[in-house]
């Protein structure tokens, strides 16, 4: 009996490295992801206009 749905997909041709600038806009989740990547020395701009709320 299978309790999971198996999904196959192709890897993305887009790859991020330490020279790839990234922009995160949205909630506090995007803030945390941006902070984590920034701490690891990725070029990140996270929520330049502040956190967005509904």
- Residue 36 structure tokens: 């984590």
CA distance 29 to 18: 21
Threshold 0.95, pTM exceeds: no
Res. 5 pLDDT band, cuts 50 70 90: very high
What would the pLDDT profile of 6-54 be if each residue is shown by its tens digit?
999 999 999 999 999 999 999 889 999 999 999 999 999 999 988 887 6
| Structural domain boundaries in the chain | 20-54
Note the maximum CA span of the chain. Answer: 49
């Amino acid at each position: 009996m299978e309790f999971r749905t198996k999904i196959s997909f192709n890897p993305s041709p887009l790859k991020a490295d330490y020279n790839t600038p990234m922009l995160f806009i949205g909630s506090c989740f995007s803030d945390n992801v941006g902070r984590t990547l920034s701490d690891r020395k990725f070029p990140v701009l996270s929520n330049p206009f502040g956190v967005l709320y509904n």
